Structure formats: structure tokens, C-alpha cells
Amino acid sequence: MGLFRKKNDVDIRKKILRETKEIDYSEIVEGLFKGKDLYEELRVMSHPDRYANTEKEQRATELFKLVQDNRGNYRKMLELKEMIYKELI
């Protein structure tokens, strides 16, 4: 792209910076460090093989897919943890 940027790109960045009041860095760091452990926990808890030949097998498969799809989203994984505890355990 080079050294020169379009004026429109600079205006968009400035607008985003103005609209962004605060960034919660603690949540970002927490998600980075605890996200992998939470993912592993949810992956084991919701694995469909744990619920083979039971009425919970279909729901476990759905939740397991959601866990995999939201691996990098710490907030969503916390919500999924609640769902797994309510519906499977």
C-alpha cells in the first residue's frame, strides 16, 4: 500500500478512536491467559462421546460445536459454560 493512505481511512480511524471511550485491557489479558484452560474444560465437558446413546447426545454435539466455533471468544465461552452446566451436567 505504501506510505500514503487514503484520507477516508484516516477519517474512519479518527472516528473510531473518538467513539471508543475505554478499553478494558484486564478483560483482554484475562481472556488470553484463561481462555485456553476454559476451552479445554468445556471441550471435555461437552464432548459428545461422554453422552453416547443418551438423550443428551444431540445437545452435547451442538454445544461442542459452539465451543469449537467460539474458541477465541472468552465471554461467549463463559456463557457456554453456564449452558453446559444447566443442560448436560
b/e per residue 5-41 (b: at least 16 CB within 10 A): eeeeeeeeeeeeeeeeeeeeeeeeeebeeebeebbee
pTM over 0.75: no
Q: Residue 32: which pLDDT band, with cuts at 50, 70 and 90?
A: confident
Residue-wise pLDDT for 49-80, tens only, equals 999 999 999 999 999 999 999 998 888 999 99
Calculate mean pLDDT across residues 20-49.
85
Q: Between 9 and 70, where is the model more confident?
A: 70
